[in-house]
Structure 1
Amino acid sequence: MPAILHRPAWALPDSAATPEAIALRLDRRALLAGAGVIAATALAPDIALAQRVGDVPDPSAGLYPAKRNEAFTLDRPVTDEQANLNYNNFYEFNMSKSVARQAQALKTRPWTIAIDGMVEKPFEIGIDDLLKQVTLEERLYRHRCVEAWSMAIPWTGFPLAKLVALAKPLGSAKYVRMETFKDPSIAPGQRQTWYPWPYVEGLTIAEAGNDLAFLVTGAYGKPVAKQMGAPLRLAVPWKYGFKSIKSIVRFTFTDKQPKSYWEALQASEYGFWANVNPEVPHPRWSQAFERVLGTDERRPTLLFNGYAEQVAGLYKGLEKERLWA
């Protein structure tokens, strides 16, 4: 007897997900941000050239495209791939959204990930060895930035819970602290010593174990692009986008709440939890609406970015905490 698939409330049929090939009009201002007088029409070829020059064959390329997990669908079209490739926060390289060219300096092989802290036995593992121990799948997720823009992405990866299981944390561990690479020789933003490098984020063990918490290794049916956080990044779709750490090199299990990069930088604006709530404004702007990247569409922001049914229970008893931006 076939298994019965219980779709969550936010899931709609596959017809709701527009194929990648359908072009969405790019926001001209986003393309020009930080690019001076460079024409938007010239940007994509430049990036393609940089990728051809700087890349070596990705040994994981044969794993893509992965099978889609039909339990994770969308209420909106998938954002056009070029829009996603050309609009990224990656302060390690620069503070604009136009980081794609500079991010090609990132060397993703060899790439070693450390698992340490309150675990049975600390260890290190190469990204390709890690991929041999998990099964990749594709999921359609929404992404909501605290800056009030949003996108919808076909991520490929595996549940963060799988890595937690490999790590074998001690029962006293309450949090997982995640850390990005630090290499100022290739990442000019890291030469700015007033920023709290390396980039750090944290989740509770319960959040990390939620089925929606996803470690990303690919997007759009191929290995994830460098400017999007290759070779390993986080996707937690019920949180604001600054809780989406890129290019992860370390997972540390601890009993102390980690201080994230953004919290260390500006605690009055960015807290630990960073859950999406349209009723709680950022100190400088409203969160009630979001602008869909690549279109002129404005949508009402949804509580927990539309994933409340799956994650609201994580925060029971924490009502006095600063759970939002």
Structure 2
Amino acid sequence: MAHRWKNNLSDGDVTPYAAFLNRRQIMAGLGGTAGLGLAALGGTTAWADTARALEPNSWDDVTTYCNFYEFGTGKGDPAAYAGQMTTKPWSVEIDGLVDRPGSYSMAQILEAMTLEERIYRFRCVEAWSMVVPWQGFELADLLALAGVQGGAKYVAFETLYRPSEMPGTAYKVLDWPYREGLRLDEAQHPLAIMATGIFGKPLPNQNGAPLRLVVPWKYGFKSIKSIVRITLTDQEPPTSWNMANGREYGFYSNVNPKVDHPRWSQATERRIGGGLFAGREPTLMFNGYKDEVASLYEGMDLAQNF
């Protein structure tokens, strides 16, 4: 497809860890300090920030240190309680400014998205970071399946809201269901993916099963989990953290070390799994993907549009 990413890195630039996944076509990221990167195996192309290359975090790191407030605000709550969430059957309602609105089952989605098998290693960040080998497909491909109409400017997302299986929703930490959004050009960028698994396995519930968004150049809360609805719209959609505290959480939420959160600095981050005495390291602009995504924000004041 025309939007596939290409460059001239060779297989020698790819971390040997990818061999563990034993896939014919594997995408693995060697990304920036706060972001998501990817590279390709199997004789295909690759790209990476090799200067900041890191091995993935462990399975335990990735699956037990999570944010998924529908199951509680503690980092261990999702792993403790998300197992009760029913993920089969699952469908995603795609509506709004699309040519083919409707309820798309996971089977329909996966069948349509199997032109290539891709695994991405992305680096996620909030005040901490970890490297996660995701598998999935480009969000742009899913939007194309529904047919984006000319008037669409934004993409809105909604998480499952099922209080009987989500104990955290009993508390009004946020206005449920969880909502997020992207500008259409952000959503159609090849680095914005829909993840269906990690480490070559289906997504665990606590990591957003069975389908979640991953946006590598933005802070972690933008990567909405367990998606049940996608709406194409001509208006900037409301997003949960922006509604809860617009002063602290803007719509764009790009990784920007020059713009501090009102209550802490975002200039550095801590790597999960680095040990008790692991130091902090500088956070890179756009999570290390300035060359790839800065053009999306040309002419914008990134301190005002944070």
TM-score (normalizing by structure 2)? 0.84
CA offset at residue 131 of structure 1? 0.3
2:289 to 298, 301, 307: 307
CA distances 1:230-280 after superposition (whole Å, capped 9, x unpaired): 000011010001111000000000011011110011111101000001111
Q: How does 1:38-53 map to 2 (within 5 A)?
A: none
> Does the 8 Å CA contact 1:65/1:222 hold for their aligned counterparts?
no
Q: How does 1:92-241 map to 2 (within 5 A)?
A: 92-98=70-76, 99-135=78-114, 136-145=117-126, 148-193=127-172, 195-241=174-220
CA offset at residue 13 of structure 1? 1.6
Q: Secondary structure at the match of 2:228?
A: strand
CA distances 1:188-207 after superposition (whole Å, capped 9, x unpaired): 11122462110000001100
2:39 is equivalent to residue 6 of structure 1: no
CA offset at residue 316 of structure 1? 1.1
CA distances 1:93-143 after superposition (whole Å, capped 9, x unpaired): 100101202000111100010000111231111112210100231011111
Unaligned runs of 5+ in 2: 28-39, 41-45
Moved more, 290-299 or 270-279: 290-299
CA distances 1:1-36 after superposition (whole Å, capped 9, x unpaired): xxx95158xx99213x65698xxxxxxxxxxxxxxx
For the residues of structure 1 that align with 2:24 and 2:300, how far apart are their CA atoms?
37
CA distances 1:290-321 after superposition (whole Å, capped 9, x unpaired): 11110124221000000111100001132267
Q: Secondary structure at the match of 1:177?
A: strand
AA aligned opposite 2:300 = L
AA aligned opposite 2:232 = F
For the residues of structure 1 that align with 2:57 and 2:300, how far apart are their CA atoms?
34
Q: Note the aligned Cα RMSD (angstroms).
A: 2.3
Question: How many percent identity over aligned positions?
Answer: 44
AA aligned opposite 2:91 = T
> Does the 8 Å CA contact 1:72/1:139 hold for their aligned counterparts?
no
For the residues of structure 1 that align with 2:160 and 2:85, how far apart are their CA atoms?
10
> Does the 8 Å CA contact 1:20/1:220 hold for their aligned counterparts?
no
Moved more, 134-143 or 314-323: 314-323
Identify if the C-alpha distance between structure 1 residues 66 and 163 changes in structure 2 by more than 3 Å, giving closer, same or farther.
farther
CA distances 1:39-68 after superposition (whole Å, capped 9, x unpaired): xxxxxxxxxxxxxxxxxxxxxxxxx95731
TM-score (normalizing by structure 1)? 0.79
2:26 to 68, 71, 74: 68
AA aligned opposite 2:14 = D
Q: How many residues get paired?
A: 275
Unaligned runs of 5+ in 1: 22-63
> Does the 8 Å CA contact 2:63/2:206 hold for their aligned counterparts?
yes
| Counterpart in the other structure of 2:223 | 244
Identify if the C-alpha distance between structure 1 residues 316 and 238 changes in structure 2 by more than 3 Å, giving closer, same or farther.
same
For the residues of structure 2 that align with 1:194 and 1:238, how far apart are their CA atoms?
26
For the residues of structure 1 that align with 2:216 and 2:12, how far apart are their CA atoms?
16
